[in-house]
C-alpha cells in the first residue's frame, strides 16, 4: 500500500504545474455573485470539486463527457473560460497537455493552475506500463479510480479553495469530510466484496488501462489492456498476445469501456470464450447531470460492482453504499 500525504503543502500557482484537456462551447462565462469561478477538465474531477466547493464555487467543466481525454483538443472558446477562471483544476500527469498550453496563454494574473495528480503522486510512485511506457515520459494518470487518491484530490481542492475564500473554509472542510467518509466506506466495501471473487481471480483485462493504481493498492492484477499507448487500434500481434494472456490467466470476463467501444475486445471474447462486459466508465459519469449517480461516487460504485461481479463475486456491500450528496451538484458538465 502506498503512503499518502496527511498534511498537504501550501499550493500556489508558482508551485504547481497544470496540464489540461477539453472543450466547451460556452464562450462568455461569468462568475455568479461572489462564488469562486473554477474550471475543471474531466468529469470525475468536476464532481469532486463541486462536492467540496459547494455553493462557494461555480464549477465549469471543459471536457465533454464520453470524450477521450488523452487526445481531446480544447475548442478556441475555452480560452474565454480560462481567462475568467479564478482556479483551474486538472488531473495532470501529462493527461491534458493541450489545455495546459491554452491555460498558460490565457489565464489572468492571480489565477491558480492546480495539477491534482502531480501534487498527489510522488514521482517515485509513478506507474509506467504497457499502455504508458516509461520511454514516452507519460505515467499512467488514472489516480481517480482509486478511492484513496480521490480523497487526496478532494483535500487538495479543499486547501486551495479555502485559501482563496477563507470565509468558506469551515463549510468546505465539512464538505470534504463528508465526501471522504463516503469514499472510505466505498473502499472498505470493495475490500469486503472482493473477497467473494474466487481465489486468484482478482485479474483485470480491460480496453483502456485505467485501473493501475487501484489494482496496486487493492491487491488486484492488471493482466493486460487492448488499447496501445498511441490510442490506435491494436495490431494483430498485440491481439494474439492478449488472447494468450487471457487463456493463461483464466479470467472469466474482459472489460470494455463506455468511452472506448471496442470490436476488438468483443472478438477476443468470442475467440477465448469469456464474457465481454462493455460498460466500464473511466471518466464518463453514469446518469445525467443533476441525477444522484452522476458523481464520482456513482461512477466508482458502478465500476467496482461491475468488476467484482464480472469476476465471479458478489457486490452487496458496494451496491449498498449511500452515494447521496448533502451538497447539490450545480457544476456545468459539457455533454
Per-domain residue ranges of the chain: 36-167, 188-320
Structure confidence by residue, pLDDT tens digits, 253-307: 999 887 767 778 788 888 899 998 988 888 899 999 999 999 999 999 999 999 9
The pLDDT of residue 232 is 67
Asked whether the beta carbons of 107 and 82 are under 8 A apart, the reply is: yes
CA nearest to 84, candidates 17, 32, 12: 32
CA nearest to 304, candidates 194, 212, 208: 194
- The C-alpha cell 455553493 sits at 55
Question: What pTM does this model have?
Answer: 0.87
The CATH topology of domain 188-320 is: Rossmann fold (3.40.50)
Average pLDDT (201-222) is 93
- Work out the number of other CB atoms within 10 angstroms of the CB of residue 40: 31
Asked whether the beta carbons of 156 and 8 are under 8 A apart, the reply is: yes
C-alpha 219/C-alpha 79 separation (Å) is: 42
pLDDT above 50 for 7? no
- Residue 334, C-alpha cell as written in the block: 459539457
Q: Which pLDDT band, with edges at 50, 70 and 90, does 207 fall under?
A: confident
The pLDDT of residue 66 is 79
State which H helix or E strand residue 283 sits in.
Answer: none
The CATH topology of domain 36-167 is: Rossmann fold (3.40.50)
Tell me, yes or no, if the two domains 36-167 and 188-320 fold the same way: yes
Show Cβ contacts of residue 235 under 8 Å, excluding neighbours closer than 6 positions.
228
Amino acid at each position: 500500500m502506498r503512503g499518502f500525504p496527511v498534511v498537504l503543502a501550501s499550493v500556489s500557482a508558482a508551485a504547481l504545474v497544470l496540464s489540461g484537456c477539453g472543450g466547451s462551447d460556452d464562450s462568455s462565462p461569468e462568475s455568479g455573485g461572489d462564488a469562486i469561478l473554477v474550471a475543471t477538465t474531466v468529469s470525475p474531477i468536476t464532481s469532486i470539486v463541486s462536492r467540496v466547493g459547494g455553493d462557494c464555487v461555480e464549477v465549469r467543466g471543459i471536457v465533454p463527457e464520453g470524450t477521450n481525454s488523452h487526445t481531446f483538443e480544447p475548442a478556441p472558446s475555452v480560452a474565454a473560460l480560462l481567462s475568467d477562471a479564478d482556479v483551474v483544476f486538472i488531473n495532470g500527469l501529462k493527461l491534458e497537455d493541450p489545455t495546459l498550453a491554452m491555460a498558460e496563454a490565457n489565464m489572468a494574473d492571480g489565477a491558480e493552475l492546480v495539477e491534482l495528480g502531480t501534487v498527489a503522486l510522488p514521482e517515485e510512485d509513478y506507474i509506467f506500463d504497457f499502455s504508458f511506457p516509461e520511454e514516452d515520459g507519460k505515467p499512467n494518470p488514472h489516480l481517480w479510480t482509486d478511492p484513496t487518491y480521490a480523497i487526496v484530490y478532494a483535500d487538495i481542492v479543499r486547501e486551495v479553495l479555502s485559501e482563496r475564500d477563507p470565509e468558506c473554509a469551515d463549510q468546505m472542510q465539512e464538505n470534504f469530510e463528508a465526501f471522504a467518509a463516503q469514499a472510505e466506506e466505498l473502499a472498505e466495501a470493495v475490500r469486503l466484496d472482493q473477497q467473494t471473487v474466487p481465489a486468484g481471480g482478482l485479474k483485470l483485462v480491460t480496453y483502456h488501462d485505467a485501473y493501475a493504481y487501484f489494482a496496486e493498492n487493492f491487491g488486484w492484477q492488471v493482466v493486460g489492456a487492448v488499447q496501445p499507448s498511441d490510442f490506435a487500434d491494436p495490431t494483430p500481434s498485440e491481439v494474439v498476445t492478449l488472447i494468450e494472456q487471457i487463456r493463461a490467466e483464466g479470467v472469466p470476463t474482459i472489460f470494455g469501456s463506455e468511452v472506448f467501444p471496442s470490436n476488438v475486445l468483443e472478438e477476443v471474447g468470442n475467440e477465448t470464450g469469456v464474457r465481454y462486459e462493455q460498460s466500464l466508465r473511466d471518466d464518463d459519469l453514469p446518469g445525467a447531470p443533476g441525477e444522484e449517480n452522476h458523481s464520482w461516487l456513482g461512477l466508482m460504485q458502478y465500476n467496482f460492482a461491475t468488476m467484482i461481479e464480472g469476476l465471479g463475486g458478489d457486490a452487496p456491500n458496494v451496491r449498498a453504499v449511500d452515494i447521496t450528496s448533502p451538497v447539490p451538484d450545480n457544476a456545468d458538465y459539457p455533454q
